[in-house]
Amino acid sequence: MTTMTSRLLAGVLVAGLVGSLAACGGTTKDSAGANSGGTQSTAAADPNAAAKQGVKMAFLPKQLNNPYSDIEVSGGKTALEELKGEYKLVGPNDASASSQVSYINTLIQQQQDVIGIAANDSNAVCPSLNQARGAGVKVVAFDSDAARDCRDVFVNQASTQGIGDKLVELASKLAGGSGEVAILSATPNATNQNAWIEVVRADLAKPEHSGLKLVKIAYGNDDDQKSFQEAQGLLQSYPNLKVIISPTTVGIAAAARYLSSSSYKGKVALTGLGTPNQLREYVKNGTVTEFALWKPADVGYLAAYAGVALASGQITGAQGQKFKAGRLGDYTIGANGEIVLGPPTVFDSANIDNFTF
């Protein structure tokens, strides 16, 4: 009898739980459908719709007063001026995971049309962003992606493949098509660095680069002293080294400083990813001929054009949709709502003075 009761009770409880779970799921689905804010945007896009004027777009970078973020959002401002939209900039002073949430909530209340966000934490911002999308706000992630199901599109500064290809292209040019190359990276477990290095390896394995030989990957830990020592080690261990590729801003600046003051200057070439301000000195004194990086201002610029295109109904974030982005030209949305800015820009002595970041 007692077992009977308890079983019955358990059954009721389980049924209740299942019921409530189903109810929860139902609610989520319904609201998502009603607000057309779901993962898969099914709403039809009209590529010929006119770009709306007066679109209110707010930029929420990782953190205010960060020089890199400042340049990124300045591009967004330019784009919104071109599109006759309203630009707004808000953001936290620290780049911690949860610091952006309250700003998103405020932006919803202010009835912005579009939020452009560089997510500090791809998941922490999700509930608020989905709330915003529920209220009809379009969400453009840029620079650093939010989780895929809580933004409409993601503007990526450069694809992993694009960066890796560019690094190999530069190295091959500097080495004259053949010779030993080495990589000076950041830490051995930096995700983006390793992803780029994988592309570099794959490219070097191709027949057209058979003359280039990757002799070592050194890790400078993004520390000046350590990067110096690793660069010294490379130069001592590989007397025939032709090019050092450093895809990290700390590493390339340290290697440039070291090379410029050593007897290897002019004998071993250096390239990689760095900012024009960092490397101006070394381009001018002949240590570095060419290096690459995306233009941060273009990231914000493209994000603003994508935001207005979303708000105007020209795109919904589905793969294959096309839109125009002012002076940057035409863009097509890739898989997972990703829009890639393009190959990185190459800087050399001819153009470096046109850039101040």
Partner 1 sequence: MNATKAATPRRRMAAPQAIFSTVFKARESGIVLALILLIAFTATRNSRFLSAQSIRDILLGTAILAVLAVGQAIVMITRNIDLSVGSVLGLSAFAVGSLLRDNQGVPVIVALLAGLVLGGACGVLNGVLVRFGQVPALGTLYALRGVNYLWAGGQQINADRLPESFLDFGNQAILGVPWLVLIGLVVLAVATIVLRGYRAGRELYAMGSSPQAAELAGIKVSRNTIAAFLVSGALAGLAGVLFAARFGTIDAAAGTGYELNVVAAAVVGGVAVFGGSGTVWGASLGALLLTVIGSCLAVLDINQFWQQAIVGALILLAIGADRLVASRVARALRKRDSHV
Q: Which is nearer to partner 1, 31 or 237 (CB)?
A: 237
Q: Nearest distance from residue 220's CB to partner 1, in Å?
A: 9
Q: Which is nearer to partner 1, 264 or 305 (CB)?
A: 264
Contact with partner 1 (CB under 8 A) among 68, 159, 338, 355: 68
Closest among 121, 147, 150, 144 to 39, alpha carbons compared: 150
Q: Is there binding between residue 278 and partner 1 (CB under 8 A)?
A: yes
Q: Is there binding between residue 27 and partner 1 (CB under 8 A)?
A: no
Indicate the angle between helix axes 126-134 and 2-35, nearest 10 degrees.
60
Contact with partner 1 (CB under 8 A) among 2, 65, 191, 240: 65
Closest among 82, 69, 121, 133 to 317, alpha carbons compared: 133
Q: Nearest distance from residue 121's CB to partner 1, in Å?
A: 19
Q: Is there binding between residue 141 and partner 1 (CB under 8 A)?
A: no
Q: Which is nearer to partner 1, 5 or 189 (CB)?
A: 189
Q: Nearest distance from residue 219's CB to partner 1, in Å?
A: 6
Contact with partner 1 (CB under 8 A) among 59, 103, 154, 282: 282
Q: Nearest distance from residue 248's CB to partner 1, in Å?
A: 12
Q: Nearest distance from residue 330's CB to partner 1, in Å?
A: 33
Q: What is the 3-state secondary structure (H, E, C) of the chain?
A: CHHHHHHHHHHHHHHHHHHHHHHHHHHHHHHHHHHCCCCCCCCCCCCCCCCCCCCEEEEECCCCCCHHHHHHHHHHHHHHHHCCCEEEECCCCCCCCCCCHHHHHHHHHCCCCEEEECCCCCCCCHHHHHHHHHCCCEEEEECCCCCHHHCCEEEECCCHHHHHHHHHHHHHHHHCCCEEEEEEECCCCCHHHHHHHHHHHHHHCCHHHCCEEEEEEEECCCCHHHHHHHHHHHHHHCCCEEEEEECCHHHHHHHHHHHHCCCCCCCCEEEEECCHHHHHHHHHCCCCCEEEECCHHHHHHHHHHHHHHHHCCCCCCCCCCEEECHHHCEEECCHHHEEECCCCEEEECCCHHHCCC
Question: Per CB under 8 A, which of residues 304..343 are in contact with partner 1?
Answer: none
Q: How far is residue 254's CA from residue 249's CA, in Å, rounded to a whole number?
A: 9
* Site track 236-265 with partner 1 (rule: CB under 8 A), x = hit: xx-x----------x--xx--x---xxxx-
Q: Which is nearer to partner 1, 201 or 226 (CB)?
A: 226
Closest among 113, 105, 106 to 136, alpha carbons compared: 113
For residue 333, is it left (φ>0), alpha (ψ between -120 and 50) or beta?
beta
Question: Per CB under 8 A, which of residues 85..104 are in contact with partner 1?
Answer: none
Question: Per CB under 8 A, which of residues 146..205 are in contact with partner 1?
Answer: 188
Q: Nearest distance from residue 187's CB to partner 1, in Å?
A: 9
Q: Which is nearer to partner 1, 82 or 224 (CB)?
A: 224
Q: Nearest distance from residue 257's CB to partner 1, in Å?
A: 5
Contact with partner 1 (CB under 8 A) among 35, 66, 131, 144: 66
Total residues contacting partner 1 by CB under 8 A comes to 38
Q: Are 70 and 300 in contact (CB under 8 A)?
A: no
Q: Is there binding between residue 226 and partner 1 (CB under 8 A)?
A: yes
Q: Which is nearer to partner 1, 35 or 278 (CB)?
A: 278
Binding piece for partner 1, criterion CB under 8 A, among 68-76, 191-199, 311-319, 326-334: 68-76
Binding piece for partner 1, criterion CB under 8 A, among 39-47, 62-70, 81-89, 96-104: 62-70
**Residues near partner 1 (CB under 8 A):** 65-70, 188, 216, 218-219, 221, 223-226, 228-230, 232-234, 236-237, 239, 250, 253-254, 257, 261-264, 277-278, 280-282, 284
